[in-house]
Each structure stands twice: as structure tokens, then as C-alpha cells.
Amino acid sequence: MTSNDQLLAWQSRTAWRPLRWILAVVITAVVVWSFSGTGVGLASLIEGRTGAAQMVSGLFPPDLDAELLTRVAAAMVETVQISVAALVFGAVIGLPLAVMMAGNVQAPRWLSAVARGIATMLRSVHELLWALLFVATVGLGPAAGVYAISLHSAGVLAKLCSEQLEAVDPAPVETMRLTGGSRLTTALLAIIPQSRAHLASQVLYQWECNIRSSVVIGFVGAGGIGQALGVALHLFRYQELATLVASVVILVIGVDWISKIFRSRLGAASGRVTDTASRPLRSLLGRSTR
């Protein structure tokens, strides 16, 4: 680097220094404003210590009645059913949107814009609001929960999976285009195979999120263990509530364990993903260039 380049770099850093201080002050002011506006602080925690102590003391010992445990087991099964059905619906909607949104797929601009708008709309509406809408239309029960979670998860999957598609190695993609491959062929043979393990990992992680979401939307009557939690909380059955909370923790740990096993099998966290995913592609391109 010459002396002129060093001088220019020093001048650039000097010019940005006041802006960094201004940005730091603005961020600090926003944080302080947010804390003061929401009443978050040690004082609010101290004021609520009496109610918290009463609730914690009421949780022990958990209710282990056989009839309750049977109902809890049935609610856990229903929660898993909701999460799996919502995952399937969400993937069916979200993955095609992800392919259309990915920049390296080079879908027509109008199609990509429509897909991006749909995905943004789906994930912008919280599952709880979707659940309220579907409870009002299809009635109380797990079906409303499935529809609510699937729409939100479709929007989330579309965004996250499109980013995974855009992060693949561009060399095989360009090679496929140079050999005359169409947009669809390039997507199916050069883009998706490279990212399939990461796509599967995103889908599995969304399943974990669906479990947690199904617990939340159960409070508005969308079925699952969340509905039982809402009833126990409203009726101040704290010992029953403790049993239900423990079942939620066990369920989430179990799903996380199963998901981790599948992700390790797929090699989503290893460096072998690109090699194993692109091996059929390299073989095809090798034959095409002979």
C-alpha cells in the first residue's frame, strides 16, 4: 500500500469517527427510551415478588394423578400431530416460494416479486392472529391450529430457504447455464442439490418451532397441550399447570433430540454437504462436456 493509499484510508476512518459516536448515542437513547416506556426494571420485579412467590409455591408438588397424566399424554400427542401437519402444509407452500424468491434461480421478476410479497405477508401475521382467524372460521380444535401455524411457517421457510439456495457455490450454477440449462433445470440440478441438506435442516428446525407455536395458539382454543395449559391457568390449578409445563419441556427436548439426529444424518453441520450434494451434478456436467 502506497503512502497516498494510507492517507486516504486514514482520512476515511477519521471522517467516519464522528458518525460512529452519533450512532452509538442514538442507539443508547433508543434503548433507554424503550426500557423507560415499557416499565422494565428491577422495581417492577420487586413489586411482583408476592404474586410470583404464590404461583411458584402453588406449582409444587406437581399433580401426578393417573387421569390427568392420561389427558396430558393425549394433549401431547395432539400437539405433535398439529406440528407435523402444519410442517407438511408449510413446506408445500413455502419451499416453492423459496425457489421463486432465490436470486440465483433467476425467476421472472414479476413472479419473484409476487412470491416475496406472499411470503412476507404470511410470516408478518403472527400464529396467534392466524389462530384467532381460523378459530372464528373453522371452529375450536386442532384444525385451526394446523392452518394457523402452517401459514406462518410457510412464510418463514420461504425466506430462510431462499437464503440457503442463494448461498450455494455459484460455479456449478454458471456451468449448468453455459451448457444450455434452463432456469428450471438449473434450479433442480445445480442449486437445490447443493443446498438440500441445509434445506432439510431448516425444515426440521421449523418443526421444533411448530411445537412451541402449537403450545401458544392452544390458549385461544386451537387444540393441543396449550389449550389444557390455558384452562389450568385460568382456573388457578397450579399443580396441574406444573405437570403440563413439565410435559411441554419433555416434548420440546424430545423433538430437539430427534431433529438433531436427522440433521447429523444429513450432514448439515459438516463440510461434506457440498461434496455429497454436488456429486451427481459434477457427474452429469462431466458427461455433458465430453
- pLDDT (tens digit, 9 = 90+) per residue, 47-68? 777 777 777 777 778 778 888 8
- Residues sharing a CB contact under 8 Å with residue 222, sequence separation 6 or more, in sequence order: 82, 131, 134, 135, 140, 141, 142, 144, 145, 148, 214
pTM recorded for the entire structure: 0.75
**Residue 214 near residue 126, CB atoms below 8 Å:** no
Contacts of 156 (CB under 8 A, 6+ apart): 90, 94, 123, 206, 209
Return d(Cα 187, Cα 200) in angstroms, integer.
Answer: 16
CA distance 121 to 180: 35
Residue 119 identity (one-letter amino acid): A
CB 158 within 8 A of CB 98: yes
Most confident of 221-225, 240-244, 275-279: 240-244
How many residues does the structure list for the chain? 290
Cell of 92: 408445500
Q: What's the rounded mean pLDDT across residues 5-16?
A: 61
Q: Each residue of 104-116: pLDDT tens digit? A: 888 899 999 999 9
Query: Buried b / exposed e across 60-69, counting CB within 10 Å, b at 16+?
Result: eebbeeeebe
Average pLDDT estimate for 239-251: 88
Q: What nine digits make up the cell of 266? A: 444429513
pLDDT value of position 51:
72
Distance CA 171, CA 104 (A): 11
Specify the amino acid at residue 210: N
Contact present, 80 and 233 (Cβ < 8 Å):
no
Least confident stretch, 43-52, 113-122, 152-161: 43-52
Distance, in Å, from the CA atom of 85 to the CA atom of 83, rounded to the nearest integer, reads 6
